């Protein structure tokens, strides 16, 4: 997760002025009346002053809050969790004050930047609290606690998420996989009452700010009406759904061959524990089970990486691993350097966390941080040397290069065009990790020829295409939770309904409302909105197609690499530098000439695979 910026500022004055109180219909009305009264008196100069104050306070809390959050995530203890809650509380308080304060300028004709910055302030928080000190405190305590439950979670037999994930990645024994899958899901039931209370408080806060509920607030962050955004998500999904269904059909058939009808039925959703990943969100780890037979082999990166980075022996020490991981990060840095980006600062290497420490709990979910809004950028990853983390290292550096590119923007514009852009940059670069590129940097000796295309595309689709419905359903669930369509009594049922409807997967053993399976996915207790990853999985192909065209690529899209192309780098940098100063449509147009997100590049990229899958599936009953 990218370290989220706070949008907050000077508002003691404004909240007093607005007479805010705990949320009720009456309070809302009072607020509107007073706001209108105030509106008559406020001037553009007042708005300027308000925003300037906001930016100052925001900068201060952002740096200090980031340092506390960093320490907490790197040393998850009772005390750091409390400190994190404390600063979270301060931050939310400020955010709510500011968002309410910003409303007084609603009817004022304002210059573009002032207006945009006020909008940023209104939309700045992810989970707003109502203007009630006790509830704000409670919300911060809950979110900090949820985060720490996830970070410190272990299965009943003492295995952590990394160990359990390794079983899913490498084991081909369904029983062993099911145990690991179930083991991790013992961590989350404890979260359920906390989550429920959190939803209630955040919804109260969102209503106070003028949104129907917290989901509606999240959907309002895309430079278009909230309802239009939900339709956009569905439209994009509609573009890629046939490709996903073709992949699903083939994968299910191959798993049926491997495990038999008893484990994988041909007319049912795929059991969720068999796809090589704890959440069945990316399936690349079981590529070996679905690899096209008879076709020329692609590139099996896992052993290549282990050999290249010097950890292909039996017992790997901590120091060896850290050294190997740093080298792998260097490889990713080198790619960005080849595009013309300045090297990462020394402090990146000194202050990042690269490997899971042996003696303490850390929040292992990979993240990129911008501590001081200038040069102090870092990653935090419990990195392993494998293909999955090779990809993630590029993903995280994409965040860091974005952060550094917009460092000279005012604090309210230090963000991406929309949050999908932030998630897409590193992935776009990583699409250039083609065999030709791997040969260029000495990871492989020979490039497989065109006969290997289906294998290469299949390996990629197992991650990128498989991800799409997961990327979509996570926030569909949260939208339904926030708007009450899914009540607390049905949290798990609602989750599995969507998992089955969109992904065509199902739990192998019955689940109940004693469980809280959504909580076993980082972004739920972590309260990181998830639509951004769905968008990123569309946008990265859209960016990539354009960058490849610029690089003069003439072959098929999936064989394109823009490694070393400074012209492409300059164009990318121009978009990154804009931060969130313009609506995302402008940034997309600057980059691709299009103002709409569009999945045709995904379809183009995988077109040969789709033809092949349709041929394989022609006598199969697809769907679930």
List of residues contacting ligand X8Z (CB under 6 A):
1-2, 281, 366-367, 392, 395, 533
Provide the minimum distance between the beta carbon of 569 and ligand X8Z in the complex, in angstroms, as a whole number.
Answer: 22
Among Zn ion, ligand X8Z, none, residue 5 binds (CB under 5-8 Å by kind): none
Provide the minimum distance between the beta carbon of 473 and ligand X8Z in the complex, in angstroms, as a whole number.
Answer: 12
The reply to whether 313 sits in an annotated binding site is no
Among Zn ion, ligand X8Z, none, residue 185 binds (CB under 5-8 Å by kind): none
Closest of 536, 428, 528, 512 to residue 474, by C-alpha: 528
The CA dihedral of 547, 550, 553, 559, to the nearest 10 degrees, is: -10
Q: Write the CB contacts of 310 (distance below 8 Å, at least 6 apart in sequence).
A: 320, 323, 324, 327
Among Zn ion, ligand X8Z, none, residue 366 binds (CB under 5-8 Å by kind): ligand X8Z
Run of H or E including 271:
strand 270-271
Contact 214, 206 (CB under 8 A): yes
Which pair of structure tokens corresponds to residue 146? 């949820």
Q: Any idea which residue has 């999908």 for tokens?
A: 420
The reply to whether 558 sits in an annotated binding site is no
Provide the minimum distance between the beta carbon of 391 and ligand X8Z in the complex, in angstroms, as a whole number.
Answer: 9
Assign 3-state DSSP to the chain and report helix, strand, coil percentages, each to 5. Answer: 65, 0, 35
Provide the minimum distance between the beta carbon of 392 and Zn ion in the complex, in angstroms, as a whole number.
Answer: 9
What is the DSSP annotation of 158-189? Answer: S--HHHHHHHHHH---HHHHHHHHHHHTTSSG
Among Zn ion, ligand X8Z, none, residue 581 binds (CB under 5-8 Å by kind): none
Nearer to Zn ion, 105 or 401 (CB): 401
Run of H or E including 131:
none
The reply to whether 308 sits in an annotated binding site is no
Nearer to ligand X8Z, 143 or 617 (CB): 143
Query: Closest CB to ligand X8Z belongs to which residue?
Result: 366
Task: Say which DSSP state 358 is in.
Answer: S
The reply to whether 423 sits in an annotated binding site is yes
Nearer to ligand X8Z, 203 or 367 (CB): 367
Selecting among 396, 422, 537, 558, the annotated active-site residue is 396
Nearer to ligand X8Z, 392 or 460 (CB): 392
The reply to whether 211 sits in an annotated binding site is no
Q: How far apart are CA 596 and CA 519, in angstroms?
A: 33
- For residue 558, the SS3 value is helix
Which pair of structure tokens corresponds to residue 265? 């039925």
Selecting among 273, 394, 523, 537, the annotated active-site residue is 523
523 is catalytic: yes
Contact 521, 279 (CB under 8 A): yes
Nearer to Zn ion, 135 or 395 (CB): 395
Nearer to ligand X8Z, 211 or 467 (CB): 467
Provide the minimum distance between the beta carbon of 2 and Zn ion in the complex, in angstroms, as a whole number.
Answer: 6
Q: How far apart are CA 120 and CA 9, in angstroms?
A: 12
- Residue 578's Cα: distance from chain center in Å? 21
For Zn ion, the binding residues in 583-622 under the rule CB under 5 A are none
Nearer to Zn ion, 62 or 400 (CB): 400
Query: Closest CB to Zn ion belongs to which residue?
Result: 423
Which pair of structure tokens corresponds to residue 88? 């979270």
Which pair of structure tokens corresponds to residue 340? 């013309």
| Residues constituting the chain | 624
Provide the minimum distance between the beta carbon of 536 and ligand X8Z in the complex, in angstroms, as a whole number.
Answer: 8
Among ligand X8Z, Zn ion, none, residue 85 binds (CB under 5-8 Å by kind): none
For Zn ion, the binding residues in 378-437 under the rule CB under 5 A are 423
257 is catalytic: no
* Count of C-beta atoms within a 10 Å radius of residue 426: 26
340 class by beta-carbon count within 10 Å (0-12 exposed, 13-18 middle, 19+ buried)? middle
Among Zn ion, ligand X8Z, none, residue 392 binds (CB under 5-8 Å by kind): ligand X8Z
* Count of C-beta atoms within a 10 Å radius of residue 7: 27
Provide the minimum distance between the beta carbon of 161 and ligand X8Z in the complex, in angstroms, as a whole number.
Answer: 12
Hey, which residues are catalytic here? 396, 523
Binding residue ranges: 222, 395, 399, 423, 532
Binding residue ranges for chloride: 222, 532
Interacting residues with Zn ion (CB under 5 A) = 423
Binding residue ranges for Zn(2+): 395, 399, 423
């Amino acid at each position: 997760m990218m370290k989220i910026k706070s949008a907050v500022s000077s508002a003691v004055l404004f909240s007093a002025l607005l007479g805010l109180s705990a949320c009720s219909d009456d309070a809302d009305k009072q607020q509107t009346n007073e706001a209108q009264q105030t509106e008559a008196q406020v001037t553009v100069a007042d708005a300027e002053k308000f925003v300037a104050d906001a930016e100052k306070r925001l900068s201060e809390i952002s740096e200090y809050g980031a340092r506390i959050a960093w320490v907490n995530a790197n040393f998850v203890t009772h005390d750091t969790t409390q400190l994190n809650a404390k600063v979270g509380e301060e931050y939310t308080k400020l955010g709510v004050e500011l968002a309410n304060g910003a409303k007084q300028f609603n009817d004022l004709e304002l210059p573009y930047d002032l207006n945009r910055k006020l909008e940023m302030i209104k939309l700045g928080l992810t989970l707003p609290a109502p203007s009630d000190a006790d509830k704000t405190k409670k919300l911060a305590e809950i979110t900090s606690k949820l985060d720490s439950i996830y970070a410190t979670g272990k299965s009943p037999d003492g295995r952590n998420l990394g160990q359990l994930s390794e079983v899913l990645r490498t084991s081909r024994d369904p029983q062993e996989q099911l145990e690991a899958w179930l083991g991790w899901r013992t961590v989350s039931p404890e979260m359920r009452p906390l989550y429920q209370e959190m939803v209630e408080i955040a919804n109260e806060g969102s209503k106070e700010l003028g949104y129907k509920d917290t989901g509606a607030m999240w959907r309002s962050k895309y430079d278009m009406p909230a309802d239009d955004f939900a339709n956009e998500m569905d439209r994009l999904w509609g573009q890629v759904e046939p490709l996903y269904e073709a992949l699903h059909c083939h994968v299910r058939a191959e798993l049926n061959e491997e495990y038999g009808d008893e484990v994988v039925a041909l007319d049912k959703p795929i059991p969720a524990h068999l796809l090589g990943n704890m959440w069945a969100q990316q399936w690349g780890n079981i590529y070996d089970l679905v690899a096209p037979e008879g076709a020329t082999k692609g590139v099996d990166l896992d052993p290549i990486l282990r050999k290249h980075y010097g950890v292909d022996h039996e017992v790997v020490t901590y120091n060896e691993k850290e050294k190997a991981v740093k080298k792998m990060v260097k490889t990713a840095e080198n790619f960005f350097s080849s595009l013309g980006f300045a090297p990462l600062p020394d402090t990146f290497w000194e202050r990042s966390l690269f490997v899971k420490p042996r003696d303490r709990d850390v929040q292992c979910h990979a993240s990129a941080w911008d501590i001081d809004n200038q040069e102090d950028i870092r990653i935090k990853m419990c990195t392993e040397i494998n293909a999955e983390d090779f990809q993630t290292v590029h993903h995280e550096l994409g965040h860091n290069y974005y952060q550094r590119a917009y460092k000279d923007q005012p604090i309210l514009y230090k963000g991406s065009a929309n949050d999908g852009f932030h998630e897409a940059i590193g992935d776009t670069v990583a699409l250039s990790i083609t065999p030709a590129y791997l040969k260029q940097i000495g990871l492989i000796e020979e490039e497989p020829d065109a006969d290997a295309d289906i294998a290469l595309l299949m390996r990629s689709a197992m991650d990128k295409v498989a991800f799409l419905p997961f990327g979509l359903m996570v926030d569909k669930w949260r939208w339904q939770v926030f708007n009450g369509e899914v009540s607390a009594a049905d949290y798990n049922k609602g989750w599995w309904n969507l998992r089955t409807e969109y992904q065509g997967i199902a739990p192998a053993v019955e689940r109940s409302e004693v469980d809280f399976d959504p909580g076993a996915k980082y972004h739920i207790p972590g309260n990181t909105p998830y639509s951004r990853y769905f968008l990123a999985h569309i946008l990265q192909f859209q960016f990539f197609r354009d960058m490849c065209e610029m690089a003069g690529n003439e072959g098929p899209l999936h064989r394109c690499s823009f490694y070393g192309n400074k012209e492409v780098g300059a164009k990318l940098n121009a978009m990154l530098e804009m931060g969130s100063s313009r609506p995302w449509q402008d940034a997309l147009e600057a980059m691709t000439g299009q103002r709409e997100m569009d999945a045709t590049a995904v379809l183009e990229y995988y077109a040969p695979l789709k033809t092949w899958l349709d041929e394989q599936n022609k006598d199969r009953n697809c769907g679930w």
